A and B are shown apart, each in its own frame.
Chain A
Amino acid sequence: MSDEPRGGFTRRDLVRGSVVGAIAASVGTKAGAAGTAAIGPGAAPLELTVNGAVHRLSVEPRVTLVDALRERIGLTGTKVVCGRGACGACTVLVDGKTVCSCLVLAHEAAGKSITTIEGVATDGRLSPIQEAFIAADALQCGFCTSGMVLSCKALLDREPKPSRQAIREAVSGNLCRCGTYNHVFDAVERAAGLKTAVSTATAPVLVGARLTADRSRLVENDPRVAQAIREAMEQEG
C-alpha cells in the first residue's frame, strides 16, 4: 500500500549492530554535507516536521519514524501492529505520500513534511473523510483507523471520485481485524459525494416491527406500525 519503494535498509531488524554504520553513512541529513556525515551509533540530533510543527529530538539511527512519533514526540495516534510493513496501521504521509512509518528510520524523515492522523483535522474541524468514517461506522476498535483514514485521504487527494475497486486497492495494505472494510468503502464514497445510502439519522425507529419485503431491515421511522401493533394487541385483550 505504500507508494514509496521499499528500500533495502529500512527494516528495523536489519538496523542493529554492525549494520548501523553502513546505514548511517547512507542517510543524508542536515547535520553535515550530504552523504559524508555518519550518524550514530549513539543518539544524534534530529529535526522532524510533523503536522507543520518542528520537533527537535536526539535519537539513535536505528529508531524508526513510528517510534519517534509515538514514544519520543508523544503522537500516539499512529499505531504499530506488525512492525514490518505488512499491515498499514502505522501509515503516515511523508511529503503527501503514504508510507509505513515502521519501515522508515526517523533520521531518514528529517527535512520532510510528515502528516499523522493528528494532523488531518484542521483547527479542530474534522475533514470530510473523518466525518464519513464516523457516519458510516467505518471503525470498530479503531486501531486500524488512523492508517485507514490516511490511506483514504491520500486516495481522495489524488483521485476525488474513486471507483469502488480503486478504494479497495487503496486500502488493500491496511489490515483490519474487526471487519470494517465494507464500511470503509462506504465512507470513502460518502466523502467523495458518491453515496449517501447509509442512513445514520437519529430519527425515531420502531424496533421489532414486521420485516419489510424489500430490505428485510427494521421498519424505520414509522409510528403507524407501532399504532397498528397496539391496536392488534388491544383486540387480543
Chain B
Amino acid sequence: MTDKIRVGFNGEFEVKEIAVAPGDPVPWDPSRTYSVLGTRVPRLDGKAKTTGEAKYSIDVRLPGMLYARILRCPLAAATVTSVDLSAARKMPGVRAALAIAEPGEKIRFAGQEVAAVAAATPEQADDALGAIRVAYAARPFVVGLEAARKADAPLVFDGKAETKTSAGDVESGGKGLARNGNVLGPRSTVKGNVEDGFKKAAAVVEATYVTQVQTHTALETHGLVARWEGEELTVWASTQGIFVMRDELAETLELPVSKVRVITEYMGGGFGAKFGPRIEGVTAARLAKAAGAPVKLFLDRKEEQLATGNRPSSVQTVKAGATKDGKLTALQLTVYGNGGTNGGTGTSGPIKNIYACENLKVDEYDVFTNAGPSTAMRAPGHPQGAFALEATMDELARALGIDPLEFRLRNDPSAVRREEFRIGAEKIGWAGRDTRRRTPDPWIRRGVGVGAAVWYNTGDTGPRATVTIHRDGSAEVEHGVQDLGTGSRTMVAIVAAEELGIPLEKVSVSIGDSRMPFAPDSGGSATTPGSAPTIRRAAFQARKELARAIAREWKVPPESVAVEGGRISAPGDPKHDVSWAEACKLLPSQGVAATAERAENHEDAWKRFTTGAQFAEVEVDTATGKVRVERVVAVHDCGVPINPLATESQIQGGVIQGVSYALFEDRVLDGPTGRMVNPNVESYKIAGALDVPEIDVTLVSVWDGINNTNSVGIGEPATVPTAAAIANAVSHAVGARIRQLPITPEVVLAAVREADEHAKGGRA
C-alpha cells in the first residue's frame, strides 16, 4: 500500500509517496494538528523523583540482602600469583568470597578487579576486603599515548589483544588490523584522491589537535542487586539496556534467557557506559549464588571513575584544502587514540559526514596503554572529531579570507543544517562578533565560535509493545524500555495518548522490565526512534481492535467504524456516534489489546543525517587564562519532538557536558605508578552551577517520514559540537588557535603568548 505524506522542515513541505507496511499507520504529517504530541509535558515521574519515592536499582533492599565489595589491583601491570580468600571468609558477617582474577592472570591497569566478598553489612564487606591476601608479580607498564607508541614501550598485550568486554565496549581485538607494538591499525577510509585535491587547493592548512580522556561520571554508579530463586535469577540493575543485560547474564552464567529477569525502574544516568553486566554484575550474581542470599553490589565513586569506561583521548592531525572561492577539495585525518586496554578510539564521524568533499582520507589507530578501558561515551569519537574538524574549518576560512560561517555554508550539503547555522548566527549575533572582541577591560576579551553536529537516524526493527484499552476508557502500555533520565516513560505515554485520541491522564505506562515486550537498548540515540514508532503501531492496532469490537456490538462492518478525536462513530445510525468512554463500556471485561513489532523504516523515505549547529560566546581573562562560557545557542534537528520540554532538557544537558569537556574534565594518571590521581568528583572536575552558560535551545522540526512518528534521538548530537564551538570562540577571543582540550588557563595563556608574539612579529 502506498501513501502520500508531507515531508520537509521549517514550514516548507513536499509530497512524498511511501510504502506503508501492513498494520502500520501512515506517518504523522504536518497537515494535521495534534493534541498531545509536541506539547510540553512535565515528565510523569517528576513527583516520584522530587519526593524521593523513585526506587533506583541502588535503592533496592531485599530481606536478608548482603553487601558486596570488589578488591582491585593497585598495580598498573602485574601477573597474579596467588589469591588467598581464607582469612576473608572468616571475617565477621562474611557469607561469600570469590576470586575474579585467577593465578597466572594478567593485570593491565591499576584498578582491575581481583576478588570480591559479600557480607551482612557494607562495613563488614569493607573490612573483609582488607583480609584478602593477593600476591602479584609486577610487570613493566606504559602510561600515556606518546610513550606507548615508542618502539621500546612495554607491551600492554604481549599476545593477542584481549580484554574482558561487555556490551557497549568496542572490542580491542581489531579483526584483520595490523598491530605494531601497542599500536593497532590503521582503519582506513579513502574517497577520491586527497593528493589531487590538495593540488587543486588555493590554500591548505595542517595541524595537530589533542584531546583528553573523559570519564562518564554518571551519578548512580554501576552495579546491581542479584536474587536467585532456585535456578532463576532476577537482577535490579543500573543499565541502559535491560535486554542486553539479560542476554549477557544468561550467556555468562549459562542460564536459559527465560530464567533471567532484569528490572530497571529508575536509573541515574549512563552516557554510554552501562550496557552489559560487566565484571561487577556477573560477580554479584555469583556471590548471591554462593551465599544463598540476595546481594547488592554497587561500585563506589573511585571504582566508577577508574574502571567503568571512558571517552578515549586523541591526537588528530588534520589537513584540509579548499579553492579560492571556498570549496573544500581535500580532507585528511590521521588519528591515534588512547582507550587504555580497549580500542575503538576513532574520531572520523564528523570529517566523513558533515562537510561535502570529494577527496577524503582517514587513518585511525588505537594505542593500548595500561589504563582503564574506554567504552562508548555519548557520541563516540564525535566531540573530539568535531573539535579538530571545526578548528580546521576556521583556519582554512582564515587562510582564504572568508568568514568562517560563510565558508561552512558553502560546504554544507544539508539544507536543514544550513538553516540551523542561519538561525544560530542571528541569535548569537555573529555579524557583530568582531566588534565585541575587545571590552572596556583591556585584559578581558570576548569571542564567538561555531561548530556543527551530525548524528545518524538509527531507529530499527525489533522493539515490541502491547497496548490495552480497558472498559473504563483507560489505556495501558507495556514496553520494556529503560528510562535513563531522558524522559522515555513520558514519551511512551504521549505517543499512545496521541494515537488513541485520549488525554494523557488516561494512559498508564509500564516500562523497565525484561519480562515486558522487547525494547531497544538506549545507545546511539536510538531509544525514541526505536520505541515511539512501536508504541504508535501497537496503539494503532489496539484502536482497530476497539473498532472491531464496537462494530460487533453495533452490527456494522468493522471498516465503517471510525475512532477519531475521542469519539467512535459509524455512518447510518445517529446512535452510532458516542464518546470514547461510552464506547469502551461496550467492551468485554478483558478490554481489547494489541501487541505489535516495529515496522521497518520506509525505504523510499527522505534519507538524511540528524543535524545541529551550536554557537558559543566566551569571555576570556587574558591575565589569568580563565574562560567563562557566557552563552550557547544550540539549534538542533530533532525529527518531530514528541515532548519539546524533555527534548530541550536533553539538549541543555548535551551542551553542559560539552562545556565540561571543553574546559574542565581530564583523567590524570601518575607517571611513576600508572594510577589515576583524580578518581573522584572534586579533582576530576565536572561543570557545576557556577560554570554553566545561558543556553538558548531551538528545535527545528523535521518531518522525514522515515518512521511513523518522524522521531529521532537527540542525546548524542546535542553534545557533538559544543567543545568545538567553545574552542573556536576562545581562539577568536585571544587571536591564536586552541589545539588542545581541556582549555585550561595554561592552554589559554600559551595561546595568548603565541598571539602576542605574532603581534610583535607584525603578523597579527
**Residues of A near any B CB (own CB < 8 A):** 60, 62-63, 67, 70-71, 74-79, 81-84, 86-87, 89, 116-118, 120-121, 126, 130, 133-135, 137, 139-146, 149, 167-169, 171-185, 199-211, 216-218, 223, 226, 229-230, 233, 236
Query: Provided the pairs A181-B689, A229-B31 are in contact, do residues A202 and B681 lie with their beta carbons within 8 angstroms?
Result: no
Q: A134-B50, A140-B269, A177-B271 are in contact. List 5 more A-B contacts (CB 8 A).
A: A78-B52, A173-B688, A207-B641, A209-B11, A217-B698
Q: State the CA gap A52–B36 with chains docked (Å).
A: 41
Verify if B252 is at the interface (C-beta below 8 Å from A). no
Kindly list chain B residues whose C-beta atoms are within 8 Å of the C-beta of A179.
649, 652-657, 687, 692
Cβ of B652 and Cβ of A182 under 8 Å apart? yes
Kindly list chain A residues whose C-beta atoms are within 8 Å of the C-beta of B574.
none
Query: Provided the pairs A82-B680, A126-B50, A202-B40 are in contact, do residues A67 and B122 lie with their beta carbons within 8 angstroms?
Result: yes
Cβ of A208 and Cβ of B701 under 8 Å apart? yes
Q: State the CA gap A187–B86 with chains docked (Å).
A: 54
Cβ of B52 and Cβ of A116 under 8 Å apart? yes
Q: How far is the CB of A23 from chain B (nearest CB, A)?
A: 14
Q: State the CA gap A206–B701 with chains docked (Å).
A: 10
Q: How far is the CB of B67 from chain A (nearest CB, A)?
A: 8
Kindly list chain B residues whose C-beta atoms are within 8 Å of the C-beta of A210.
10-11
Cβ of B31 and Cβ of A184 under 8 Å apart? no
Query: Provided the pairs A181-B656, A204-B33 are in contact, do residues A118 and B51 lie with their beta carbons within 8 angstroms?
Result: yes
Query: Provided the pairs A142-B45, A142-B54, A216-B423 are in contact, do residues A201 and B40 lie with their beta carbons within 8 angstroms?
Result: yes
Query: Provided the pairs A205-B38, A216-B698 are in contact, do residues A183 and B649 lie with their beta carbons within 8 angstroms?
Result: yes
Q: State the CA gap A204–B503 with chains docked (Å).
A: 11
Verify if B212 is at the interface (C-beta below 8 Å from A). no
Residue among A75, A81, A137, A177 making CB contact with B646, cutoff 8 Å = A137
Cβ of A86 and Cβ of B682 under 8 Å apart? yes
Q: State the CA gap A141–B15 with chains docked (Å).
A: 39
With CB as the reference atom, state the residue of chain B lying closest to A67: B122
Cβ of B9 and Cβ of A81 under 8 Å apart? no
Verify if B210 is at the interface (C-beta below 8 Å from A). no
With CB as the reference atom, state the residue of chain A lying closest to B271: A177
Q: How far is the CB of A237 from chain B (nearest CB, A)?
A: 8
With CB as the reference atom, state the residue of chain A lying closest to B31: A230
Kindly list chain B residues whose C-beta atoms are within 8 Å of the C-beta of A126.
47, 50-51
Cβ of A81 and Cβ of B53 under 8 Å apart? no
Cβ of B43 and Cβ of A134 under 8 Å apart? yes
Kindly list chain B residues whose C-beta atoms are within 8 Å of the C-beta of A204.
33-35, 39
Cβ of B30 and Cβ of A208 under 8 Å apart? yes
Q: State the CA gap A210–B59 with chains docked (Å).
A: 46
With an 8 Å Cβ cutoff, the count of chain B residues facing the other chain is 89
Q: How far is the CB of B1 from chain A (nearest CB, A)?
A: 20
Q: For B15, B301, B654, B681, which residue has the most chain A Cβ atoms within 10 angstroms? A: B681
Kindly list chain A residues whose C-beta atoms are within 8 Å of the C-beta of B692.
179, 181-182
Cβ of A218 and Cβ of B268 under 8 Å apart? no
Kindly list chain A residues whose C-beta atoms are within 8 Å of the C-beta of B30.
206-209, 226, 229
Cβ of B32 and Cβ of A83 under 8 Å apart? no
Kindly list chain B residues whose C-beta atoms are within 8 Å of the C-beta of A201.
39-40
Q: How far is the CB of A84 from chain B (nearest CB, A)?
A: 7
| 6 pairs, A vs B, C-beta closer than 8 Å | A86-B682, A130-B51, A144-B219, A207-B641, A208-B9, A226-B31
Query: Provided the pairs A139-B43, A181-B689, A181-B692 are in contact, do residues A202 and B36 lie with their beta carbons within 8 angstroms?
Result: yes
Verify if B192 is at the interface (C-beta below 8 Å from A). no
Cβ of A171 and Cβ of B640 under 8 Å apart? no
Kindly list chain B residues whose C-beta atoms are within 8 Å of the C-beta of A121.
51
The 9 closest A-B pairs by CB, nearest first: A77-B52, A141-B485, A179-B653, A210-B11, A207-B38, A142-B49, A143-B268, A179-B656, A134-B46
Cβ of B504 and Cβ of A202 under 8 Å apart? yes
Q: State the CA gap A188–B10 with chains docked (Å).
A: 34
| A interface SS class | loop
Cβ of A77 and Cβ of B266 under 8 Å apart? no
Contact with A along B239-273 (1 / 0, CB 8 A): 00000000000000000000000000011110100
Kindly list chain B residues whose C-beta atoms are within 8 Å of the C-beta of A139.
43, 46, 49-50, 485
With CB as the reference atom, state the residue of chain B lying closest to A129: B50
Verify if B566 is at the interface (C-beta below 8 Å from A). no
With CB as the reference atom, state the residue of chain A lying closest to B643: A137
Verify if B37 is at the interface (C-beta below 8 Å from A). yes
Residue among A175, A207, A226 making CB contact with B219, cutoff 8 Å = A175
Cβ of B652 and Cβ of A75 under 8 Å apart? no
Contact with A along B639-665 (1 / 0, CB 8 A): 011001110111011111100000000
With CB as the reference atom, state the residue of chain B lying closest to A165: B690
Kindly list chain A residues whose C-beta atoms are within 8 Å of the C-beta of B55.
76
Contact with A along B13-39 (1 / 0, CB 8 A): 101000000000000001111111111
Residue among A62, A86, A118 making CB contact with B52, cutoff 8 Å = A118
Q: How far is the CB of A208 from chain B (nearest CB, A)?
A: 3
Residue among A81, A84, A171, A206 making CB contact with B38, cutoff 8 Å = A206
Q: How far is the CB of B92 from chain A (nearest CB, A)?
A: 10
Q: State the CA gap A144–B217 with chains docked (Å).
A: 13
Q: For B49, B217, B701, which residue has the most chain A Cβ atoms within 10 angstroms? A: B49
Cβ of B11 and Cβ of A229 under 8 Å apart? yes
Residue among B6, B34, B649, B656 making CB contact with A137, cutoff 8 Å = B649
With CB as the reference atom, state the residue of chain B lying closest to A171: B689
Kindly list chain B residues whose C-beta atoms are within 8 Å of the C-beta of A216.
423, 427, 635, 698
With CB as the reference atom, state the residue of chain A lying closest to B9: A208
With CB as the reference atom, state the residue of chain A lying closest to B35: A204
Cβ of A145 and Cβ of B50 under 8 Å apart? yes
Kindly list chain A residues whose C-beta atoms are within 8 Å of the C-beta of B220.
79, 81, 141, 143
Kindly list chain A residues whose C-beta atoms are within 8 Å of the C-beta of B53.
77, 118
Query: Provided the pairs A142-B485, A175-B686, A207-B37 are in contact, do residues A134 and B652 lie with their beta carbons within 8 angstroms?
Result: no
Verify if B671 is at the interface (C-beta below 8 Å from A). no
| Interface residue ranges of B500-534 to A (CB < 8 Å) | 504
